[in-house]
Structure 1
Amino acid sequence: MAKDPRQMLNEFSAGLEVLGTTNQEQLGAFMNLLGAAYKPGAVDTKTKELISVAIGVYNRCEYCIVFHTYKALEAGATGEEIMEAAMVSVAFGGGPTMAYSVTLLKDSIEEFEKDFK
């Protein structure tokens, strides 16, 4: 059964909100780290999100795949760029990485592309 990327993105966001009610200091520290890491510098945010998609696919982190696909599209990446980044990770991760690329990643691109057109 295929997973619903939009539902997964919403569940992840809601989970962060709930965690913030009990672990604000830790969540805040993590969010500050992310803010610093994704701030444009020598590498722009779009490229950082493409790297994140590739790492998420390689690690088979479903919520990472969904979240960073959304963020990559939001940063101006195309579906083709996202899939090409994922194919680089397939060179390292083999079959399991390909499996996530042709299922959850593909579905996430298709679901979220319409949000940014």
Structure 2
Amino acid sequence: MAKSREILNQFLGGLQEVGKTNPEQVNAFMNLLGAAYKPGALDVKTKELISVAIGAYNRCEYCIVFHVYKALEAGATREEIMEAAMVAVAFGGGPTMAYTVSLLKESLDEFAPDFNK
């Protein structure tokens, strides 16, 4: 199993496990996500592309992996995801580029076949 899928599974499994002992907090977080990603003036794909950029800018491994997966699931192309990340590089410089050309690229390589992109 490659690193990106391991990170994704670790995050999702952690949410489930912590949800058993802290259901109120985990449910509140999940409800916030549900509200934030509900289609409105922006569609889900656009919101996921924004999330990819924010994750790359913040250098959050879990955010990068999760939102690359969700962006692909929402119909984003490899080119759209990389372009969103490059906007983040304009703000975050070298550290953001490092995460983009490594973990973000690896996540695209690993997850894109799941969505035939």
The normalised TM-score by structure 2 is 0.97
The answer for unaligned runs of 5 or more in structure 2 is none
Aligned residues: 115
Partner of 2:74: 75
Please give the per-residue CA displacement for 1:77-108, whole angstroms capped at 9, x wherever unaligned: 01110000000000000000000000000000
Aligned residue identity for 2:107: S
**5+ residue gaps in structure 1?**
none
Give the distance between the partners of 2:27 and 2:11, measured in 1 at CA. Answer: 16
Q: Partner residue of 1:33? A: 32
1:1-117 equivalences in 2 (<5 Å): 4-117=3-116
Shift of 1:38: 0.2
SS where residue 70 of structure 1 aligns?
helix
Question: 2: CA distance between counterparts of 1:13 and 1:31?
Answer: 12
Moved over 3 A (4+): none
C-alpha distance in 2, partners of 1:103/1:82? 14
| Deviation per residue, 1:38-67 (Å, 9 max, x gap) | 000000000000000000000000000000
CA deviations 1:14-58 (Å, max 9, x no partner) are 000111001000000010000000000000000000000000000
Tell me how far apart the structure 2 counterparts of residues 107 and 27 of structure 1 sit (CA, whole Å).
28
Taking the aligned partners of 2:32 and 2:7, their CA distance within structure 1 comes to 23
Q: Name the Cα RMSD after superposition.
A: 0.7
**1-side partners of 2:21 and 2:112: how far apart?**
34
TM-score by length of 1: 0.97
Q: Identity percentage over the alignment?
A: 75
